[in-house]
Structure formats: structure tokens, C-alpha cells
Structure 1
Amino acid sequence: MGVVLLLIGIVPAHNCVRECGFQSAAQVQGSWEVVGCTQAHDTRRHGRILSAVDLPLGGNGHPSEAGLYFAKIGIGTPSKDYYVQVDTGSDILWVNCAGCDRCPTKSDLGVDLTLYDMKASTTSDAVGCDDNFCSLYDGPLPGCKPGLQCLYSVLYGDGSSTTGYFVQDFVQYNRISGNFQTTPTNGTVVFGCGNKQSGELGSSSEALDGILGFGQANSSMLSQLASSGKVKKVFSHCLDNVDGGGIFAIGEVVEPKVNITRWYKITALFIENVSIYVEKSSKFAGMRICLILFLSAQIWMENASTAHYNVVMKEIEVGGDPLDVPSDAFESGDRKGTIIDSGTTLAYFPQEVYVPLIEKILSQQPDLRLHTVEQAFTCFDYTGNVDDGFPTVTLHFDKSISLTVYPHEYLFQVKEFEWCIGWQNSGAQTKDGKDLTLLGDA
């Protein structure tokens, strides 16, 4: 078995992406339109990715375009390149197909869009409704007859949808050898051929060729490659929040050499990157978040009944002092654990955690005059160095793993002396008022 490498790209979509798309909180500077775009981005992404747990996170941010992470993969013979959004919260790969109704023909992201045409690929094959994959995806179909297509339809929480049919073809990717060299290879994958899109999926704003779902269901590309013996069912996802981009790898795992108390195995590809970024700089919040994502993939991949990748948060310390919250505060009912979502920018905590957490953080500066902006962000004026004036926050997880977040990472600056707390109250943001703990990529 080998390791599959996907290089993750990020491109600017207007000024909003450059200012707030997938960067650390301290880098989100500028107007409140920029801050609003962060919330709008989270709202759209949670409407899609977290619809299964009924969590369109909100606020009253100004709607605007925002950044997203994507990978380039090759499909078909001869292979053609397709840009697909990397999504750890959905379970199928789908791309727009020839003859599609309302599929975007151009993208504001600066990438060339390509419609997949199975007739132009010598290795393509239709997937019938009597195929095992069809039953695997949506259960036995009543009225199925030989020759009928296996159809799919996905309705996202933001009202957008994609419909089409499943096809089978070669997916091209890079395989990593022991010395980190890559060689092209391919595997047969069943994926959706989208012939009708609606809502945001039909817009040129943030348009890509499709979505690459890395969820835990057997219909995902990861599960298919693993079941065919191509890779192991483990992935590593690291999003670079400094220059944009990152790496997504699936397959072989080894013990990493990083300065962490105890570790589960993660993908070999990230050893050097993680070691460099974690040990030499404390500002790569997204890189350290991705370490926890590795752990979530390793632990929860074995439990396919969970809808998303979760980790078990045990405790929060503020300035070295444990936060006084109930022991089950991080268990969100039937959604136990802390959700890791690469499509969310901010971090969200239950109200019973958020309120004492913010009070504890601000207690070191009792003279601050607080104000609320966008009905969500707690802000204040401060002229000093925030790393000197505010405490570090340490998140403790199961298996003795901890993540320290510095003030310049959980605070963001919108004006010369105006700072805001980037963390959010999930109970106040969700439509149904339900609490949950979720860590985004900022």
C-alpha cells in the first residue's frame, strides 16, 4: 500500500479572501465587511457540510465571497484535470458533467472549469441501479431494472443541490514513495456525474468542478481506494493558514517526530512539515489544529456511525488554570465530541463553556470597555502587545494531547487598536440554539 498525495490550493476570490479566508485570527484585519465575510463563509459551509447535525451557524455578517480549499485530480483516459473542493463532511466525489443544466462555466476563483464527459474517456463505465455501489449509497431502489442508471441527489442545508448519476472511471493521483518522491498512479472510483445544479452550486462565485467528499461512509473515494487495497483508510489534512494551500494525504502511516506528549500514527508525508512549523513558530494555529485532525481521523475512522470527524476534548486551561465547567460540557448530546471541520473558519463552543472562557480571558484586563459588533463578536480597544496582556488557552484532548492557542491567534485586529475575540458561542449562533464544540481552520 502507498500514500496518496493531494496538494491543496487556495486562491483569492476578491478582497475578502485575501483578508479573512483561511488565515489566522491575527491576520484578519480590515473592515467589518471582512469580518462579516468570515461569518458568511461559515454559514454557507455549515449549511452544506453540517446539515446532518442541523447546524447552519450564523450571525448577521455581510454576505461576501470567501476562501476555500481545493485539490486538483485527474479523471478519465486520457486524464483531464478537475478542481474539486476538499470536504471532510460529505461522502461522495462528484463533478459537473457534459450537458449539465445550470452548471457554472466560469469561476471567480481563477481556475479553468472542465465538464466531465464519460463518452470521451475510454475507461468510463455506467453504474446501474442494480450495482452493489448503488445499494451501498442509498439502499435498494424500488423499480430497479437492468439498464437503468444509479441516480444520486444531494440537498444541502443552504438550499443548493446537485443531482445526477453515478459513473465509474480512473481517478489519477500521486503516490508517495518512502523518500517522499511522487509517482502518478490511478484507481477505479465510482463518482457522481452532476447534470443539474441549483443555488450556490450553479453560481460562478467560488465555483469549482465539484466536491471531493472524505467522509466516513463507504461511498467516499477514500473508502473505495481502501477497499480495493490501494491505500489504508487513514488520511492527514494540513491547511496552511499563512500563504494558503496545504496538503491532503491518505494511506501509509508512521510515528511522527513532533513535540507532543503522546501521539497516534499519522501520515508519513507530514512529518517534516509539521515538525518545522510547530517547533519553529507558534503562529501556525491552523497547522496545530490539523494535528488534532490527524488524531480524529485515526480514532474515529473506525466508527463509521459518526457523521463527522470528532475528537474528545477533556478540559480547557486559561493561563494554566482549569476552566470550571461541567465534565460533560463538550459532549453535545448525540453529537458527542469536538467536531473538526476544515470548511469552518472560526471556533465555536457551547454557551456553558464560552461564557466562562471569555470571562476568564478578559479578567486579566478588568478595565477594558467591551462592545459587541455584528451581534456576535466581543471587541475592545487595546494598545499594548496582546501576547503580553492576555493569557494563553490550552485545549486538552483524550490520549494526553494538548493544543496551546496564543492571544494573537484567538484575537483578531480590525483597526489599529481595536481587537475582537474570534471564538463564538455556538448556542447563540445555531438556528435551534443547540450547543456544540467545533474547531475550524483559523
Structure 2
Amino acid sequence: MEPQVTGVVIISLPPPGDPSKGKTITAFALPDDPGDFLLHPEWQQRSIDVMAPPPAAAAAPVFPPSARWVSPRRAAVCVLGASMMVFAIWACLYSEAPFEFLRSSEERDRRRRDGESLLLPLFPKPGGPRFLNQGEVKLGSATGGRQVRMAVSSAAANSSAAFPIRGNIFPDGLYYTSIRVGNPPREYFLDVDTGSDLTWIQCDAPCQSCAKGPNPLYKPRKESIVPAGDSLCLELQRNQRAAPHDSSRQCDYEIAYADHSSSVGVLARDELRLEMAGGKQVRPSFVFGCAYDQQGQLSASPAKTDGILGLTGAKVSFPSQLSEQGLIANVVGHCIKNGGGGHLFLGVDFVPRRGMTWVAMADSPTSYYQMEIGRLTYGSRPLGNNRKSPGGAIFDTGSSYTYFTNEAYGDLLSSLKDTYPRLVRDESDQTLPVCWRAASPIRSVKHVRQFFSPLTLHFESKWWIMPRVLRIPPEGYLILNDLGNVCLGILNGTEVHDGSTTILGDISLRGQLVVYDNVERRIGWVQSDCRKPQRAADFPFL
């Protein structure tokens, strides 16, 4: 059997007179079926069809002018009108969402690059709401440091344990979170306070007047004491008239609160243990108050917390220090559940991208989170002087209750007289200035909410399609005491300050996700059940 040829190789040699051209090699593979060299008939037909000219197109029907009922100009007007209507509906539903959407992506990316987010839980203390006779109003301000030399240990304090809070000292309650300070880290319970600049922890320096708290006193190292020439010390004392600082001395401070309590101490710097929302462990340096002398309600024992967590926009505050070190954007948010608990976050990851109502922060010499109110109403009834603005409103989680100006408070009491036929004013109940009783003990505020109207804070709107209001339902200003009576959790502001400003305390901030954006200088809120923090989606509709 002769071998079958499966291929051909052709070698072309260079011309004899010009060997520099080289040789050429060409190879061919032969198929088993010689017919494969021929084009398949079907492919031949397809090739012919492709090369054939296309048939002449049928003439388009010509309509008379009356049949062209939509002109290009009319179509453009219709599309523009529909677009404006959709935009208006979007603006009404999502308030600031259009402007957030139109904000450049570069700006959003810049804010996200400022750092990660920190998420902290909020815990309700036993005993329910804080009542007037043992309530608290913070709004702390530095008033000048007393030059008291303190003794410090050269070694760190022993590790401390967190003591669970049990029982109830009637009536007492507040919202707190915990942080870990030192090396080794020790846990401390701190009152969450958006009305205070400085974070402070009760300190054994030694302590002159300290409440018995849930955890052992913080014991500083000698090298942790902040000198008087430190930039944060100068910032804290910038409004004080004092002699030039000796940079080798300690930084003393004294903070006076609106409820006439006070705290005295020195600044200390120690390591802070934090776990960011993404799971990253960080150990930033943290400056706080080592408080060795508490007066007023801050000295009452047993205390439910070890100190105060200052959350304003001041440079010495907790979020500002973390932002300065590049860990977070200087944004603070909290969500307090109606039934107790909630969460606190620092950074932008948990700020909703839709549904928020945003209002610019008022220009103020203080670092409080304050806005200007246009109107204040109970139901449809205006409160306060209609001829002038009700003034500003301060968000203060360090205050148990909400405080109105004298005029607004008087108008509110007059409006509430319509409630008396259904609920009887109980003059013998001293829990709060105004309490009501029913024929039988009230078991929940929800059972009597139909007798009351919501409170509404109205803010100036740029456009009529963007109303900006903060609505406070009856659950946001009523409390239930142990007698089965319901009491008004709004008090006269002249009892704690000059009465020219509305203070929104814990009672009115429940059931709201509130955000304090120190980057954009604005405050925002949206109703929430506060059960679980949600990461925000990038697109406003998601």
C-alpha cells in the first residue's frame, strides 16, 4: 500500500546571483476529502445573496399635514413638563435628595476618603426617664481652670471590670455608651452628650469629690498629663482671661453645666481602643478630662456612668479629635429607640442618602448643634410670639427633657387645657410640673395619645416644594410614671437658662435618626425604629 500524501512543503531557493534574499518555505495540509476545497452550494447561494443589490424600498406613505398631530416642538414641551413634574414630586418626597444627587461624585468620594465609620451601641439605664427632681440638663461650657496641683501614679492603674447596672434609684435614667481607654484597656460608661465639648472620666488624682460609679476611677500616668501649652488646652481655655501659660504646667479646666452642676479636673492623653465599622482595630491618641472634683448632681451616688462623652463640633470633642487624626469624617449620628437603647455612630457610612430633612446649622459663637426656628405649633395652634421668630433650637442628648421659651411654654399649657375633660390634672403628683390621671392607671402613652396633638418645629424653606419640619408626636413629649399617670416632658426653659432658646432633649429625639454634619455644617433627621444601623446606599433611590 502506497503512503497517502497529507501535505506539501515548497522550498524556494534564492537566485544564484543574489543569495542575500534568502529562501522561502511554504507548507500546505491536504484534507482527506478533496471536495472540501469546493465551496458548499448553500454558502455559494449566501455569497450571491450578499452581493446582490437590495430590493427597492417601498415608498413611505405621505400623510396630510392634519395627520401629524405631534410636532417636534410640542413633543419637547411635553417631555420638559413631565420632567419638571417628576422632579417636583421627588423633591417633595425626599426633601434634600435632589441636591444630594446633584452633588458632585468627587465631593462624596472626598468625604468617604476622610475615614471610616465608628459604630457604638446606646444602652438605657434602669429606672426609665430622668425626672425633674433628679433630671439633668448639660450644655456644658468651660469657665476657667482652678490651679490645683494633682498627684499621679507612675504606674498604670489595674485593669478594671465593667459592672452591670441593676436596680433602680427612683426615678433615674439616661443613655450611655462605653469606650475603652488605656493600656491595658479599661472600660468606662459615658453619658452621650451632644451639648458638651469635653469628654471626661472620673479620675483618681486623687479624687476630691467623685460619685461612686459603675467602674473604678481612672488612674493616670504621670507622663499622660497634658501641659498647659498644648494646642487642645489653649483651645479649651480660649475664652478664659488668664495669665500666660507655663507650658511645663498641667492644663486645668472647670466646666459648668446648665443644671448648676460642675466638673473640675486636668487634661490627660491616653490610648483609645476602637473597632471601626469595617472591623479594623485602631489605637488613636485621645485627650480627655481627668475629673477629680464633681459638684451638684454629678456628685450624687450611686452614679450610673463614669463620665460624659462630649460630641459637639469643638476641636477638643471626641469626634473632632478622631477626625483630626484621619480616622473618620467629622459627622455624628444617633438613633434612640422609644423602648430604650439604640446606636451612636461617627462617620458617613450610616448616613441615609434619601429621606433626610436637612437644615443648616445656625451661626453661633458656641459649638452647640443649633438651628433657627421659623414657627412652633401644637397641632395647628402657634406657640410663642407670632410677631417674631421663636429663636433657636439646640439638640442636646445630655438633657433629659425638652425646654421651651417662656411664651411658648405658656401657650402650650393653654392649648393642653382641652385635654382636661378626658384626663384629670393631678396636682398631687410631683413627678413633673404637669401630670394627668385617668379613671384607671394608664399602662402606655399610646393609650392616651389620641387626646394630644403633635408638636411641629417649622424651618425656613428655600422652595415651597421643600417644607422643612421636625414633627414630635405625643410619645416625644409625654412620659408615664410609676403611679400610672402621664406627665408632660416639656418644661419652662427659664428654670435652667435664660429661656431664649428651645432645648430638644432625649425625650423628643427618640424614634429619630439624627445626624450632625460638621463638614457641611448642617443637621438632618428622619423617622426610624432605630433597631439596626443600616449602611447607606450610594444612589438616592436605593
Q: Give me the TM-score of the superposition, normalised by structure 1.
A: 0.67
- Answer whether contact 1:171 1:186 (CA < 8 A) is retained: yes
Name which of 489, 501, 504 aligns with 1:439. 504
CA distance in structure 2 between the aligned counterparts of 1:324 and 1:94, rounded to whole angstroms: 37
Q: Classify the secondary structure of the residue corresponding to 1:224.
A: helix
Q: Does 1:339 align with 2:339?
A: no
- Answer whether contact 2:261 2:296 (CA < 8 A) is retained: yes
In structure 2, the partner of 1:424 is 491
In structure 1, the partner of 2:434 is 377
- Answer whether contact 2:378 2:453 (CA < 8 A) is retained: yes
The structure number with the bigger radius of gyration is: 2
Shift of the 387–257 alpha-carbon distance from structure 1 to 2, 3 Å rule, reads farther
Counterparts of 1:75-86 in structure 2, within 5 Å, are: 75-86=181-192
Shift of the 154–349 alpha-carbon distance from structure 1 to 2, 3 Å rule, reads closer
Shift of the 223–389 alpha-carbon distance from structure 1 to 2, 3 Å rule, reads closer
In structure 1, the partner of 2:281 is 184
Q: Which runs of 5+ in 2 are unaligned?
A: 1-114, 144-168, 462-466, 508-542
Provide, for residues 275-311 of structure 1, a one-character-per-residue CA deviation record: whole Å limited to 9, x for no partner: xxxxxxxxxxxxxxxxxxxx6xxx33x8562342223
Q: Classify the secondary structure of the residue corresponding to 1:136.
A: helix
CA distance in structure 2 between the aligned counterparts of 1:349 and 1:413, rounded to whole angstroms: 20
Q: Classify the secondary structure of the residue corresponding to 2:374.
A: strand
Name which of 373, 394, 397 aligns with 2:459. 397
Q: Does 1:354 align with 2:354?
A: no
Name which of 219, 222, 237 aligns with 2:316. 219
- Answer whether contact 2:211 2:299 (CA < 8 A) is retained: no
* Residue 378 of structure 1, CA deviation: 5.5
In structure 2, the partner of 1:39 is 132
Name which of 246, 266, 272 aligns with 1:171. 272
Identity %: 27
Q: Does 1:256 align with 2:352?
A: yes
In structure 2, the partner of 1:10 is 124
In structure 2, the partner of 1:138 is 237
- Answer whether contact 2:478 2:488 (CA < 8 A) is retained: yes
Q: Partner amino acid for 2:504?
A: L
Name which of 97, 100, 104 aligns with 2:206. 100
In structure 1, the partner of 2:369 is 309
Provide, for residues 75-123 of structure 1, a one-character-per-residue CA deviation record: whole Å limited to 9, x for no partner: 122322222222222211222334422354743xxx333423326xxxx
Q: Partner amino acid for 2:332?
A: F
In structure 2, the partner of 1:205 is 302
Q: Partner amino acid for 1:343?
A: G
- Answer whether contact 2:174 2:400 (CA < 8 A) is retained: no
Q: Classify the secondary structure of the residue corresponding to 2:196.
A: coil
Q: Partner amino acid for 1:171?
A: L
Instruction: Compare the two structures and name the one with the higher strand fraction.
Output: 1
CA distance in structure 1 between the aligned counterparts of 2:191 and 2:483, rounded to whole angstroms: 35
CA distance in structure 1 between the aligned counterparts of 2:301 and 2:484, rounded to whole angstroms: 37
Shift of the 183–103 alpha-carbon distance from structure 1 to 2, 3 Å rule, reads farther
In structure 1, the partner of 2:139 is 49
Provide, for residues 5-36 of structure 1, a one-character-per-residue CA deviation record: whole Å limited to 9, x for no partner: 22222222xxxx23x34xxxxxxxxxxxxxxx
Shift of the 438–417 alpha-carbon distance from structure 1 to 2, 3 Å rule, reads same
* Residue 127 of structure 1, CA deviation: 2.1
CA distance in structure 1 between the aligned counterparts of 2:364 and 2:327, rounded to whole angstroms: 20
In structure 1, the partner of 2:221 is 118
* Residue 235 of structure 1, CA deviation: 0.4
CA distance in structure 2 between the aligned counterparts of 1:338 and 1:7, rounded to whole angstroms: 26
Q: Partner amino acid for 1:68?
A: L
Q: Give me the TM-score of the superposition, normalised by structure 2.
A: 0.56
Higher relative contact order (CA 8 A, sep 6+): 1
- Answer whether contact 2:142 2:236 (CA < 8 A) is retained: no
* Residue 73 of structure 1, CA deviation: 0.8
CA distance in structure 1 between the aligned counterparts of 2:351 and 2:196, rounded to whole angstroms: 28
Shift of the 148–67 alpha-carbon distance from structure 1 to 2, 3 Å rule, reads same
CA distance in structure 2 between the aligned counterparts of 1:249 and 1:206, rounded to whole angstroms: 25
Shift of the 365–112 alpha-carbon distance from structure 1 to 2, 3 Å rule, reads closer
In structure 1, the partner of 2:343 is 247
Q: Partner amino acid for 2:174?
A: L
Q: Does 1:230 align with 2:327?
A: yes
In structure 2, the partner of 1:277 is none
Name which of 149, 165, 179 aligns with 2:250. 149
Q: Partner amino acid for 2:231?
A: N
Q: Classify the secondary structure of the residue corresponding to 1:312.
A: strand
Matched positions, count: 354
Moved more, 73-82 or 146-155: 146-155
Name which of 386, 399, 423 aligns with 1:326. 386
Q: Partner amino acid for 2:188?
A: Y
- Answer whether contact 2:189 2:305 (CA < 8 A) is retained: yes
Q: Which runs of 5+ in 1 are unaligned?
A: 22-37, 54-62, 265-294, 332-336
In structure 1, the partner of 2:13 is none
* Residue 2 of structure 1, CA deviation: 1.0
